[in-house]
Amino acid sequence: MAALKYAGMDDTDSEDELPPGWEERSTKDGWVYYANHDEMKTQWEHPKTGKKKRCAGDLPYGWEQEIDEKGQMIYVDHINKRTTYFDPRQAFTVEDVLVKPKRYDGNTSALEILQGRDFSDRVVLITGSNSGIGFETARSFALHGAHVILACRNLSRASKAVSLIQQEWHKARIEAMMCNLASLRSVREFAESFKAKKLPLHMLVCNAAVCTQPWSLTEDGLESTFQICHLGHFLLVQCLQDVLRRSAPARVVVVSSESHRFTDLLDSCGKVDLALLSPSKNDYWSMLAYNRAKLCNILFSNELHRRLSPHGVTSNAVHPGNMMYTSIHRSWWLMTFLFTLARPFTKSMQQGAATTVYCAVAPELEGLGGMYFNNCFRCLPSMQAQDQSSAASLWELSERLVSERSVGIQAL
């Protein structure tokens, strides 16, 4: 204690509080060091505790490091329009030890999961991302530096979504591209346009869906709910699988639903039945069609992971959350009315996007796939969704359907 007093270190209230004359600084890559202005020296160890520290994570979204006219490093907060010499990461310094993964739940938002992380070297493609969960997924990644592609049917709405995000952060790298999953021709054209950009693809989120649609056939002669929710995404992944493999490690996230539990896809021989997936008008019930499509999503994700994981591409399926107020049910007035009544008790879109984002970025899921997540936790889907033979049967059927409507599609 006498030595501390002699050194001027006994008049601080906290073990981590710096003695007079000392200042905490950080390097560009986040390591903390200490400067003594009286003795004009620096050191890595805390002058009182002797511990080394580093900043936890990257700069918060919207922040950038720049050099001022005097050659000093400054930190610019583009969101709140302010500049400081203080590294904002120093608010989250940790000792130089391994940090355990955080635990998330149904109340977690997508932005919380991405807090402090920099994805400026990542390209993310999200279908159906001009509104709802898809928009919040795109917004969250764009605000953390990723190059985000909105693959949407309505290019006008997608462009408005791009503008909203760029108004929030003018340096957001985000663009809209036309992709109508109800048209296999449109999916192929989109894939070719994307490949022409010569971009990698690190995260592909199959988010687009329709629910409670009146019966209709697509231009490819298939029931629209089945094609938009499943077959269009199946073809999209087939067309982009070479890009995903070159970009490995890459991840695919397929947005499914707990409603997959309330249906079946098999005929009397145990094979996936096209008559159930793409029924006639007389056999069609919109909610059942949606349930079947969501079961297809999980089977597709499982089989995709089995086929592509040896090449560094993983796939997981997610349920975004129960009773969320989105526009997906806009075609059925009763469902819209019920969701309006329940809206005060539902998840927000940011919370709905959390599980998708978690599966796309969680370090603990690196190399892992073929799983189903709800509220950022792994859970077991229905027995049929776990059935490998059903997954293989659906894959074969889907492959046949797209090949009958095209020439030269590369098989996985």
User: Which residues are identified as catalytic?
Assistant: 290
Burial of 50 (0-12, 13-18, 19+ CB in 10 A): exposed
Q: Is 24 helix (H, G, I), strand (E, B) or coil?
A: strand
Helix (H) or strand (E) holding 23: strand 22-26
H helical segments located in 148-259: 155-168, 184-196, 224-226, 232-246
Rg (CA), the chain: 25
- How many other C-beta atoms can be found within 10 angstroms of the C-beta atom of residue 230? 26
Q: What is the DSSP letter of 31?
A: B
b/e burial code for range 16-31 (CB count within 10 A of at least 16 → b): eebbeebebebeeebe
> What whole-number distance in Å separates Cα of residue 208 and Cα of residue 109?
20
> What whole-number distance in Å separates Cα of residue 390 and Cα of residue 292?
13
Backbone angles phi, psi at 374, to 5 degrees: -140, 130
First to last CA, the chain: 70
> What whole-number distance in Å separates Cα of residue 217 and Cα of residue 221?
5
Contact 356, 257 (CB under 8 A): no
> What whole-number distance in Å separates Cα of residue 149 and Cα of residue 177?
7
> What whole-number distance in Å separates Cα of residue 343 and Cα of residue 324?
7
> What whole-number distance in Å separates Cα of residue 26 and Cα of residue 63?
15
- For residue 143, give both structure tokens: 């605000």
Contact 59, 70 (CB under 8 A): no
Strand partners, 176: 150
What are the respective helix, strand and coil percentages of the chain, to the nearest 5? 40, 20, 40
- For residue 206, give both structure tokens: 């199959």
- For residue 215, give both structure tokens: 């019966």
